[in-house]
């Protein structure tokens, strides 16, 4: 009973203990690894519906997948993992669902902060902080504060994120800098624009994964994905396993990246 209560409180289940295929992981480490993997975690709602459960049950299970994939990416030696957690369009969802999603950072903080610190992972947020409820902001700032000295993988949650908005904000800030004389118009190049995005300190993703069968980018990292390999799978995010993540990396290793050259 106590064990079951603990599992419910922490989100950990027996399936959580599934051992990683170490041989497969070691083989992957021998090939070229993406430095930065970005993921559109889609299909939580459909996953829940299929099981006769409310949509939020899908998000809860999705949070557990976040834990598994974070571990797999970290064990593999990926430098940056970015997860699309809430888009600027997601405010249009039913209020209860929005409230639940806004509570997940605090929940994740409670259940996973210790492990993230132990793993030397640095947690960041990409997106507009304004509009987010104070309890969400509070959890994010606790995450940032507790992991700011960490030097390992950078785990970014894209929250209240929209790529067009990100680019618009960057343009505004660049114009301000030109107007104030801090910057000359001639200095505006791709590098400078990249430095004005939320992802300023991150390399562009080498690989973008989207789950649940939708073949779209949905306003996610439009600038940064210019040369990324794209990987789509029909599997819904709550069912996306570490093995499936390794499969995506294997697929990446089979592709040759030429950046427009021959
Ligand atoms: C898309 O599925 C998923 C989301 C909008 C939310 C994703 C969030 C998580 C997986 C948890 C994030 C965890 C933290 C700690 C912030 P959907 O609801 O659009 O699925 P559907 O297309 O089947 O309806």
| Phi, psi angle pair for 87, to nearest 5° | -95, 165
Strand partners, 231: 209
Specify if 136 maps to a domain.
Answer: yes
- The question of whether 239 is a catalytic residue gets the answer no
| Ligand 1 surroundings by CB, under 6 angstroms | 41-46, 59, 62-63, 66, 85-86, 90, 101, 104-105, 108, 157, 212, 237
pLDDT in tens, the chain (262 residues): 555 544 544 444 444 556 678 899 999 999 999 999 999 999 999 999 999 999 999 999 999 999 999 999 999 999 999 999 999 999 999 999 999 999 999 999 999 999 999 999 999 999 999 999 999 999 999 999 999 999 999 999 999 999 999 999 999 999 999 999 999 999 999 999 999 999 999 999 999 999 999 999 999 999 999 999 999 999 999 999 999 999 999 999 999 666 677 6
Specify if 169 maps to a domain.
Answer: no
Identify whether the C-beta of residue 44 lies closer than 8 Å to the C-beta of residue 61. Answer: yes
| pTM of the shown model | 0.93
Specify if 189 maps to a domain.
Answer: no
Specify if 262 maps to a domain.
Answer: no
Domain count of the fold of the chain: 1
> What pLDDT is attached to residue 31?
94
- The question of whether 42 is a catalytic residue gets the answer yes
Sign of CA dihedral 202, 203, 204, 210: negative
Residues 49, 52, 57, 61, Cα dihedral to 10°: -80
Ligand 1 centre to CA of 152 (Å) is 25
Output the DSSP codes for the chain: -HHHHHHHHH---GGGGPPP-HHHHHHHHTSPPPSEEEEE---HHHHHHHTT--HHHHHHHHHHHHHHHHHHHHHHT-SEEEEEEEETTGGGS-HHHHHHHHHHHHHHHHHHHHHHHHTTPEEEEES--TTS-HHHHHHHHHHHHHHTT--S-EEEEEEEE-HHHHHHHHHHHHHHHHHTTSS-GGG--HHHHHHTSTTTTSPPPSEEEE-TT----TTSSTTTTTT-EEEE-SS-GGG--HHHHHHHHHHHHHS---TT--
| Residue whose C-alpha is closest to residue 125's, from 148, 152, 100, 155 | 155
Query: What are the contacts of 183-192 at 24+ separation with CB within 8 A?
Result: none
How far, in Å, CA of 178 to CA of 136, rounded?
A: 34
Ligand 1 centre to CA of 59 (Å) is 5
| Phi, psi angle pair for 168, to nearest 5° | -60, -45
Residue 99 in marked binding region:
no
Which CATH number fits the domain that encloses residue 103?
A: 3.40.1180.10
Q: Residue 52's domain spans which residues?
A: 33-161+206-253
Identify whether the C-beta of residue 152 lies closer than 8 Å to the C-beta of residue 121. Answer: yes
Q: Which residues contact 197 (CB under 8 A, 6 or more apart)?
A: 166, 167, 170, 223, 224
Specify if 200 maps to a domain.
Answer: no
Mutate to test the pocket of ligand 1, among 39, 42, 121 (most ligand atoms within 8 A of CB): 42
């Amino acid at each position: 009973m106590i064990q079951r209560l603990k599992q419910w409180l922490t989100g950990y289940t027996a399936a959580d203990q599934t051992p990683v295929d170490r041989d497969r992981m070691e083989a992957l480490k021998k090939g070229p690894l993406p430095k930065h993997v970005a993921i559109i975690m889609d299909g939580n709602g459909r996953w829940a519906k299929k099981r006769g459960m409310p949509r939020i049950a899908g998000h809860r299970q999705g949070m557990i997948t976040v834990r598994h994939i974070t571990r797999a990416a970290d064990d593999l030696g990926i430098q940056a993992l970015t997860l699309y957690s809430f888009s600027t369009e997601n405010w249009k969802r039913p209020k209860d669902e929005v409230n639940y999603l806004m509570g997940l950072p605090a929940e994740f903080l409670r259940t996973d902060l210790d492990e993230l610190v132990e793993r030397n992972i640095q947690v960041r947020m990409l997106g507009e902080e304004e509009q987010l409820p104070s309890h969400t902001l509070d959890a994010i700032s606790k995450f940032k504060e507790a992991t700011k000295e960490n030097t390992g993988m950078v785990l970014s949650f894209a929250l209240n994120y929209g790529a067009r908005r990100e680019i618009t904000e960057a343009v505004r800030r660049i114009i301000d800098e030109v107007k104030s004389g801090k910057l000359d118009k001639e200095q505006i190049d791709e590098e400078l624009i990249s430095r004005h995005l939320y992802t300023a300190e991150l390399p562009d993703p080498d690989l973008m994964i989207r789950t649940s069968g939708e073949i779209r980018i949905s306003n996610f990292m439009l600038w940064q994905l210019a040369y990324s390999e794209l990987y789509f799978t029909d599997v819904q995010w709550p069912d996306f396993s570490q093995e499936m993540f390794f499969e995506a990396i294997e697929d990446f290793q089979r592709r040759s990246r030429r950046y427009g050259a021959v």
